[in-house]
Amino acid sequence: MLSSFAAKFNTRATRLTADLEHRAKIRSALRSYEKARDEKKALFQDWEAARDGAATIKWEAVNHLDAYLGRFVEKLEARGTKVFWASNAQEARDYIVALAKEKGAHSIIKSKTMTSEEIHLNDSLRQAGYEVVESDLGEFIVQLREEAPYHLVFPAMHLTRTEISDLFHEKLHSAPTDNPEQLTMIARRELRLKYLRADIGISGANFGIAETGMISITENEGNARLTTALPRVHVALMGIEKVIPKLSDLALFLPMLATAGTGQQITCYNSLIGGPRQPDEPDGPAEFHLVLLDNGRTQLLADAEQRDALHCIRCGACLNVCPIFRNVGGHTYATTYQGPIGSVITPHLRGLMDWKHLSYASSLCGACTEVCPVKIDLHHHLLHNRRNAVARNPDKWERFAFRAFARLTANPGLLDKLVRLSRPFLPLVRAARQIMPPPIKGWLASRELPAIALRSFRNYWKSR
């Protein structure tokens, strides 16, 4: 029995896979990325050694998470940061909404944070009466369209310049233009005013550095720097797995994230934030709140087999190479984290039985594992999720079918005989596919049932 999430996924995937225009858009959006990524990878002395190094640092951090988090928080608190531990999405939302109320806020500006998408923060803030504005250009565009980000790193990659121009014309009454610079200036004009009005700035964090008690934010537009510096109060929302041991680890992670994520040697703006404005500092927010989010991460941490999924630095490289993502697109997943990494962690974060279908949204080609800069064993984890789902709720018909299949394939003579016997019935099955009972009908719907060759390969081989 399919969950409602799986049924929706199947419907959307079927529609989008057949949408050649959508597929062409994604291919063209990724073409320049691929070229740039490979050029920047070549600038590393040894990309594979860098991946090993990054995986080792992440392993160290994740396997001693309690110690590193303790050190990280202690340092931040010593400089006046208010740290809140949120065990789930509701606690994180409640804390931030209550803070906005306490500060008498009206307007909130945000820089890109997938963690806030994970907890559906914007909806809660809006329901509580606050204006919430996304300041990252891609996020701003999808917010105007009232849709979720399409991709971890490129939220609006599914849109053409013309579509963005039409959107700005409709929502912001700007003159139509296909010029990227002019489109950016339209958004910039709109956003500058929002920064000045904002009472609270909300950001994510790419890394938390235990050694120095700082968060690191990496971005290309300078919007995160304004979000975290201009408003009176800054709130950073960070998953607990983002902590790394040392400041010097950034020397590896920042270029690596830029290379794998956007095909850059380094992103344009890299900020380190260690607390609110100190007495001897001329500017910065008066208050800095850090919300550390668990929301299922400790459960994943307890799973020794799949714990390395917490190494993820959200570069999006696995999405870009995934043949499924490139065909069905980001919105089809209906999850915060799309593509291979989303398919691995969503069942952990939101329930295995509702989201197990994502583990099958894979050709198991292994391209994701091959490109992952922190060496997460992505395609094997998809298999682990499949196994776990079957173990939790075995389907007796499925089990019967696979046992029968195993028996047959272990006995080629019998298989050959059966195939020969079934050959005359094939046209009949083809003609009757519409009236077959489920799940056979669904299985046949996307299959062509080509004619069976008169001679099997086995037979042909024998005769030679």
The binding site for ligand SF4 (CB under 6 A) comprises 260, 312-318, 341, 371-374, 376, 378
Judged by beta carbon, residue 195 or residue 337, the one nearer ligand SF4 is: 337
Q: Can you tell me the distance from the alpha carbon of 223 to that of 234, in angstroms, rounded to the nearest whole number?
A: 13
Shortest CB 260 distance to ligand SF4, Å: 6
**Angle between helix 412-422 and helix 396-409 axes, rounded to 10 deg:** 110
CB of 23 closer than 8 Å to CB of 347: no
Judged by beta carbon, residue 264 or residue 456, the one nearer ligand SF4 is: 264
Shortest CB 5 distance to ligand SF4, Å: 21
Judged by beta carbon, residue 214 or residue 372, the one nearer ligand SF4 is: 372
- Within 286-411, strands assigned E span 287-293
Judged by beta carbon, residue 89 or residue 378, the one nearer ligand SF4 is: 378
Block residue for tokens 């009206």: 106
Expressed in percent and rounded to 5, the helix, strand and coil fractions of the chain are 60, 10, 30
Judged by beta carbon, residue 188 or residue 380, the one nearer ligand SF4 is: 380
Shortest CB 397 distance to ligand SF4, Å: 34
Shortest CB 317 distance to ligand SF4, Å: 4
Shortest CB 343 distance to ligand SF4, Å: 10
Shortest CB 152 distance to ligand SF4, Å: 6
Shortest CB 30 distance to ligand SF4, Å: 14
User: Which residues lie closer than 8 Å to 373 by C-beta, 6 or more apart?
Assistant: 50, 51, 54, 256, 257, 259, 260, 313, 315, 317
What's the distance, CA 76 to chain centroid? Answer: 28
Nearest 5 degrees, angle CA 133-CA 136-CA 139?
70
Q: Can you tell me the distance from the alpha carbon of 429 to that of 425, in angstroms, rounded to the nearest whole number?
A: 6
Alpha carbon distances (Å) from 280 to 153, 276, 412? 36, 11, 80
User: Which residues lie closer than 8 Å to 369 by C-beta, 6 or more apart?
Assistant: 318, 375, 376, 377, 378, 379, 380
Judged by beta carbon, residue 179 or residue 265, the one nearer ligand SF4 is: 265
Judged by beta carbon, residue 151 or residue 194, the one nearer ligand SF4 is: 151
